[in-house]
A and B are shown apart, each in its own frame.
Chain A
């Protein structure tokens, strides 16, 4: 079920009400039921994959917690079992298609054109983190299969994350004293509304522009392609951050606190800063389960740089099995290594450096994100056209009244989003905790969503495809 659909918005208050009405010991079972039911609405057979990952991690964790010794091989066995579906759907099937295509051999693994089960990349990482944490003794295993399964399938996050840790979600699910927390619930309402605004009014408005440009890419001039590439990054951010806020909002209504997944990445100065603000649940996962086990920064400088590079290559591969993702990850890795080598942190403190560097960071990040929604040849074709075609003729997309109005609406909604982001970044105390201001503000945001939101795009989130 789409979490930005009217069905979900109408169903959520019912779920929350039932959740607080059932006895506390039944709440996790209820969450599990709701999560499975909602997940099955995407692709019923996907539940088998989720069950595999859940059971592999549950039984594996049980196995090594019940034995006195915890050999590394036990952990690796569990991790491999957990990774099997991800490897099959995300890597083996595309690899098989490439190889059989190149060899002209008819031996397709994916005869029925299965799509990758929704959220597989997210809940697989979640399971691995739990397995490692329990193995290392940082976390206790779940007290029951229901709790473990509720953690793995938790409906607000099982489609596109955030990738939560055991100490973050499982620990809260196992506390039986969850009560309705009015302050947390109010924050949840605010996050939900703002998440919907980011998705409908910002991300989907930008999507219309990006799609209009890309549909006739060969007739567009350099400026239009450049703006489209920049727009895609804004779309991606608003789409994913919007989803994350809706997930956080839903969990807050259920009395569960999760950490932010984004911290205003459009204000990043440099790539290190960017990764401290963008998709935090993934970047911290990569830090804790790839970078640090590789040796992190507590080793020779060259080795440390290599660790950074490897971590980002893994990040690229996590997004998909294509060369474009690999290049995207490698480019981020190289950029971060260069920043570390030139000690960018030190000389980027002055605002005179920060402002232009913020713009430069955004542009480079956006150019690299063009690898995200294209294969390599298309991305390079795009870059080539951007560099060689005219930049002085204005926009080359059709300028009818409706498209100009759409562009105005897109820019206005972006300006509003940025105004709030600037307030949150630079003056977070401005009008903070004044409830009446918040009520008026969020009521106005709902009216803006109704007035400017794009409701006919199907409402899918971009990160669902990763």
Chain B
């Protein structure tokens, strides 16, 4: 019995010490990473201080060209979009930025499946959120998604789970660090090709909404009403105007402009503007941002009044 007890105690002690040591090392490696997605996250969290910021999933990342917005408004702009991330992460990211400074305008690119709809899988995989240790409300946000996260976060390694090889591989510049990247915006240069016999299938949206996502969307709108714009950028051949009623209503309640360009007549039917059916290529992104820029300016003017 004694042998079992000693073995178990030794095992637990080794795990605790090892967790502290390895976790500290991983945190250090993570914070020292300057390239790829991790480098981008570190930069956004620690250094971005643009007047206008763009938040949202990959559709934000690839659709909003900051230099065009800056030219139009005279204010600095940074694209903080993240691939595969939804409202929970972006709410947290904004809170992290707001711990340092207050942007003048926040443009939120709404992606219905990531920000409203109930999905059996949750795109917000929490990977990025876990590593945002400086964010004061990180634990409470994580617990709202997974109730046991507070216990998991007792581990020093856990927040950097699955990042060992990623930090190692992020020692060299990648697509996120190429010279074409414009203040966080990552251009795509492909031309969408339709296979012979391709027909349009509208995306199937279930009516079920994810109450957690909606609650964070509400918070984002309510807490930033005076400096927020919610935008839906175009989708190829999309007639999806009718699914945004709930968001539109939330925005209306708080006086937040809701700009729905999902079925934009110019872009949605022009295949040369698209990288794939959900993402504009660079040409399309430029055209879209040019269309949006006057509305941003108008909103800024409205805010200053």
Contacts and interface: CB of A to CB of B under 8 A. Distances in A.
Contacts of B37: 401-402
Contact of B168 (A405, A440, A443): A405
A7 interface: yes
A406 B4 contact: no
B32 interface: no
Interface stretch (B96-104, B153-161, B296-304): B153-161
A333 B152 CA distance: 46
Interface stretch (B8-16, B210-218, B221-229, B259-267): B8-16
B11 A442 contact: yes
B162 A447 contact: no
A314 B52 CA distance: 65
A438 B7 CA distance: 9
A453 interface: yes
Interface string A1-35: 00001110010000000000000000000000000
Given A6-B151, A409-B165, A435-B7, 10 more contacts: A182-B3, A189-B11, A401-B37, A404-B165, A405-B162, A405-B165, A443-B18, A447-B22, A447-B157, A451-B157
Interface string A452-464: 1111101000000
B95 to A, nearest CB: 21
A373 B166 CA distance: 30
Given A7-B148, A186-B4, A450-B155, A455 B166 contact: no
A450 B10 CA distance: 18
B125 interface: yes
Interface string B171-206: 000110000000000000000000000000000000
A77 to B, nearest CB: 42
Interface string A180-192: 1011011001000
A186 to B, nearest CB: 5
From A406, A446, A451, A452, residue with most partner B Cβ within 10 Å: A451
Contacts of B157: 447, 450-451
Nearest to B26: A451
Given A6-B151, A182-B1, A440-B14, A447 B19 contact: yes
B169 A404 contact: yes
A408 interface: yes
Nearest to B8: A189
A51 B305 CA distance: 70
Contacts of A185: 4
Contacts of B19: 447, 450
Contacts of B209: none
Contacts of B18: 443-444, 446-447
Given A6-B148, A456-B126, A409 B161 contact: no
The A interface, classified by DSSP as helix, strand, loop or mixed, is: helix
A439 interface: yes
Interface string A419-435: 00000000000000001
B164 A451 contact: yes
B151 A10 contact: yes
A444 B148 CA distance: 23
Contact of A408 (B14, B152, B165): B165
B67 interface: no
A74 B174 CA distance: 72
Interface string A222-260: 000000000000000000000000000000000000000
Contacts of A402: 37, 166
A439 B158 contact: no
B36 interface: yes
A180 B7 CA distance: 16
B174 A454 contact: no
B166 A401 contact: yes
A443 B4 contact: no
Contacts of A451: 22, 26, 157, 160-162, 164
From B151, B152, B166, residue with most partner A Cβ within 10 Å: B166
Contacts of B166: 401-402, 405
Contacts of A440: 14
A400 B18 CA distance: 30
A393 to B, nearest CB: 18
A366 to B, nearest CB: 25
30 contacts: A6-B148, A6-B151, A6-B152, A7-B148, A182-B1, A183-B4, A186-B4, A189-B8, A189-B11, A400-B175, A401-B36, A401-B169, A402-B37, A405-B165, A405-B166, A405-B169, A408-B165, A440-B14, A443-B11, A443-B14, A444-B18, A446-B11, A447-B15, A447-B22, A451-B162, A451-B164, A452-B162, A453-B162, A456-B125, A456-B126
Interface of A: 5-7, 10, 180, 182-183, 185-186, 189, 400-402, 404-406, 408-409, 435-436, 438-440, 442-444, 446-447, 450-456, 458
A452 B164 contact: yes
B211 to A, nearest CB: 19
A452 B168 CA distance: 14
A455 B161 contact: yes
B170 interface: yes
Contacts of B3: 182, 186, 435
B284 to A, nearest CB: 21
Contacts of B155: 450
B197 to A, nearest CB: 13
A102 to B, nearest CB: 25
A456 to B, nearest CB: 5
Contacts of B121: 458
Contacts of B14: 439-440, 443
A320 to B, nearest CB: 21
Contacts of A10: 151
Interface in B134-150: 148
Contacts of B7: 186, 435, 438-439
A273 B272 CA distance: 58
A446 B148 contact: no
Contacts of A5: 148
Contacts of B174: 400-401
A405 B30 CA distance: 14
Contacts of B4: 182-183, 185-186
Contact of B11 (A6, A7, A439, A450): A439
Interchain residue pairs A-B with the least CB separation, the first 8: A443-B14, A182-B4, A405-B165, A450-B157, A405-B166, A408-B165, A6-B148, A447-B18
Contacts of A400: 174-175
Contacts of A436: 10
A409 B164 contact: yes
A5 B151 CA distance: 12
A46 to B, nearest CB: 20
Contacts of A443: 10-11, 14-15, 18
